[in-house]
Amino acid sequence: MSETNLKDMSQLVSLAKRRGFIFQSSEIYGGLSSCWDYGPYGIELKNNLKQKWWKAMTFRSDVVGVDASIFMHPTVWKASGHVDGFNDPMVDCKNCKSRFREDKIDTTAPCTNCGAKDSFTEPRDFNLMFSTQMGPVEDSSSKVYLRPETAQGIFTNFLNVQTTMRKKLPFGIAQIGKAFRNEITPGNFIFRTREFEQMEMQYFIKPGTQVDSMEEWKEIRWNWHLSNGLRPENLRWKDHGDDLAHYADAAFDIEYKFAHGWDEMEGIHSRTDFDLKQHQEHSGKNLMYTDAQDNNKKYLPYVMETSVGCDRCLLAIMSDAFRIENEGDKENERVVMKFHPSLAPIKVAVLPLVKKLDEPATKLFKDLQMEFKAEYDLAGSIGKRYRRQDEIGTPFCVTFDFDSLKIMP
C-alpha cells in the first residue's frame, strides 16, 4: 500500500467540504470572501482542539481563564498602540487594481495577478482594525472596534484577576475567543481570514526572569503541538531576532510546513511591561504589583505571551493528518485522515454486518454514545463504511457480527 501526503491545499478544501468539515460562508449567495463556516465534523474537531488547549493551559495551579467581551473601551486600542500602529503596508497594482501586502510580495517583480511590470503604487499604511458604532447615535464618540487580538481583554483584567484570585507572580491568564482583522490579502483557506479565533495566554512574571520564562514556554508549546500528532519534521522555530513588534524584547514563532510553504502557526512573545504600562497611563489606574516575597517592592510585571490561532492550528492538524492511500489506483485510492484520537471528531463507529443485527448493534451504539461521540452506519458494504470513517479520521470502528452477540451483556 502506498501513502502520499497533502500536496495542494485544494485537496483539503475539497475533502473539508465533501465531508462536512468546513464550508464557505454564505455559499448559497456565492460565498463571502475569506469567511468559512465549520460543519458538523469541523466543529467537533475544533471543540476538541480548544478543549485540549484549555486543559493544557489552565489545568495547572498558576494559570486561570477569562472570557472577555469582543467590544472594549475605545481607549484600550489607543493605549495598546493598535489605533496608531496596527497597520500593514499596502500596494495596489495600477493595471488590474489588485491589492497586496507590500511585505509579502516582491514589488520589483511583475504583478502576480496580471503580469504587468512596474505597476505597483507606493506603499500606504492600512489599519487592520474593523470599527462599528455602538448604540443608536452615530457620532465619533460611539465608535468601537472589533478586537484584533484577545490579549487586551487579559491585560485590562490583570488587576481584577490578580486580586480576586489572590495570585502571586508568576501566574497566567488564558483566553479563547474571536478576533477580527481586515487583512489586505486573506487566503490559503483558513490560514488567513478576517474573522478567526485565538487561543492566548499572558504569563505575568517578575522583570528580569523573561529569558528563563521564554525557554520554559517555548518547550511547553512545542510539546503541545507534538501531542496533537503533528509530525516534528513539519515544525520549526523562527527567531525574530531584532525584527520585533513595538511591544516585544524577544519573539519566536512556531512555524508549520503548510501546503503553501513554511509559515507562522504560533507566536511566543516577550512583551515586557509595555501593555500594563500603557494601560496604567491611559486609564490612570494603578496596576502595580506588590511583591510580598521581595520586601513589598512595587513594580509592573513583565509578560510572556503564547498566541496561537485556533483555525490556523486546525489547518496544520488537518494538513498533517491528510493521506491518500494507493494514489492513482482507481479501485483502491482513498483519503484517510490520520487524526490523533484525542482530536478525532468521531471516536468510534458501530457497523453492523447485516440489517438483522440492527437491534443489538443499536443497543451497543447507544451505550457508547453516552461516553463518546459515536456514529452508527448501516448503509452499504462494510468496506464502504470503513472508508467513510477513514475519511473523517475515526480511530475505532466496531464491526458488529453474529459473534458479537455472544459477548453482549
User: Footprint of ligand ATP on this chain (CB under 6 A)?
Assistant: 149, 181, 183, 192-193, 196, 198, 264-267, 307-309, 311-312
Closest to ligand ATP by CB, 194 or 206: 194
Judge contact between 187 and 34, C-beta under 8 A. yes
Judge contact between 382 and 399, C-beta under 8 A. yes
CB of 186 vs ligand ATP, minimal distance in Å: 6
Closest to ligand ATP by CB, 34 or 210: 34
Closest to ligand ATP by CB, 42 or 267: 267
Say which residue the cell 484600550 belongs to. 76
What single-letter DSSP state applies at residue 189?
T
CA distance 90 to 371: 51
Closest to ligand ATP by CB, 167 or 181: 181
Nearest to 95, CA basis, from 117, 74, 67, 124: 117
Closest to ligand ATP by CB, 36 or 289: 36
CB of 195 vs ligand ATP, minimal distance in Å: 8
CB of 138 vs ligand ATP, minimal distance in Å: 28
CB of 85 vs ligand ATP, minimal distance in Å: 12
The secondary structure element, H or E, covering residue 102 is none
CA angle, corner 289, sides to 284 and 294, nearest 5?
150
Closest to ligand ATP by CB, 269 or 385: 269
Nearest to 256, CA basis, from 238, 274, 269: 238
| Residue 107 cell numbers, joined | 514589488
Closest to ligand ATP by CB, 202 or 389: 202
CB of 307 vs ligand ATP, minimal distance in Å: 4
Residue whose Cβ sits closest to ligand ATP: 309
CB of 122 vs ligand ATP, minimal distance in Å: 22
Number of CB atoms found within 10 A of residue 14's CB:
12
What single-letter DSSP state applies at residue 232?
G
Question: What's phi and psi for 325, nearest 5 deg?
Answer: -95, 140
CB of 199 vs ligand ATP, minimal distance in Å: 9
Phi-psi region of 113 (alpha: psi -120 to 50; beta: other; left: phi over 0): alpha
CB of 387 vs ligand ATP, minimal distance in Å: 32
Closest to ligand ATP by CB, 31 or 380: 31
CB of 357 vs ligand ATP, minimal distance in Å: 46
Closest to ligand ATP by CB, 46 or 181: 181
Cα 17 to chain centroid distance, Å, stands at 19
CA distance 119 to 91: 10
Nearby residues of 104 by Cβ (< 8 Å), 6 or more positions away: 185
Q: Which residues of 329-349 are buried (b: 16+ CB within 10 A; e: fewer)?
A: eeeeebbbbebbeebbbbbbb
